[in-house]
Amino acid sequence: MLRRAWVSLVIAVLALTAVIATAGASSDEDAYPAALRTLSVSGDGAASAAPDIADIELGVQTIDEDPTVAIVDNTTAMADVIETLVDLDIDEDDIRTLTFNMWVEQVYGPDGPTGEFLYHVVNQIMVRVRDLDTTGDVLGAALAAGANNVGGIRFGVEDTQALEVAARDAAVDNALAKAEQLAERLGVNVGNVRHVIETSGDLPPEPRLERAMAFDSGGASVPVSPGDFTVRVSVSIVFDIEF
């Protein structure tokens, strides 16, 4: 009798364990697929505005057999350029030095090195122009004052916050529209947001500048075309899917 009762108890325990294990497995199966019930989309947005600043990279390069003369000539020419810029109402805080360096060139003749050397001194500055209507005048006057190369000109917007907000709104709207379209086609609903990633950047306009102007402007105003400044934002959003 005791043996039969013991066997019955063991069977009952095993049966209960099997029921619990089955219930746990069923619960896991329900939970795991739910974690995969998501919809991932990306959205792009952009906002543009007319530039309100121009950054111009100007430089003076001097060459001489005497390094002292090369440095003095360069310093004098750059001082003239900066004085000219200040006279054009460019704030001194909007003029900053980018690079100043000197390098040596060994002179070669038909039979090889001549034993002579040329010293190159280069001074590059960045100038911020806040009145874009004067950009061409500033550039022409700087070249006439002694600047003999232009490293580039970049138009931009000083405060991009409003553009970023507008571009971000457009990117989210674009992503939501894609999610709604996909959900409708799949016969499901868009649920809560699980994850969001944003990337952003600006696209400064490339001005059209004549190459010859960098070497001889004759003091005349240089033609420039600012174009538009554009901020772009991209978002990646993961939504839950609701049935």
User: From CA 153, how far away is CA 211, in angstroms rounded?
Assistant: 12
Which pLDDT belongs to residue 218?
53
Distances in Å between the Cα of 116 and the Cα atoms of 69, 110, 120, 191 are: 15, 14, 13, 77
Arch. (CATH architecture) of 53-155:
2-Layer Sandwich (3.30)
Task: Tell me if domain 37-51+157-243 and domain 53-155 are identical in fold.
Answer: no
200 burial class (0-12, 13-18, 19+ CB within 10 angstroms)?
Answer: middle
The overall pTM is greater than 0.75 = no
Domain 37-51+157-243 classification at class level: alpha beta
The domains of the chain are located at: 37-51+157-243, 53-155
pLDDT digits (tens, 9 = 90+) for 186-203: 999 999 999 999 987 665
What H or E segment, with its residue span, contains residue 5? helix 2-35
Which pLDDT belongs to residue 200?
77
**Percent share of the chain, pLDDT over 70:** 77
Contact 141, 44 (CB under 8 A): no
pLDDT digits (tens, 9 = 90+) for 37-48: 899 999 999 999
User: From CA 2, how far away is CA 173, in angstroms rounded?
Assistant: 74
**Beta strand pairing call for 229-242 and 189-203:** antiparallel
Quick one: how far is CA 112 from the chain centroid?
47
- Residue 59 zone, left/alpha/beta (φ > 0; ψ -120 to 50; rest): beta
Residues of the chain predicted below pLDDT 50 = 2, 5-7, 9-29, 31-32, 206-217
User: Which of 176, 167, 177 shows the shortest CA–CA distance to 198?
Assistant: 167
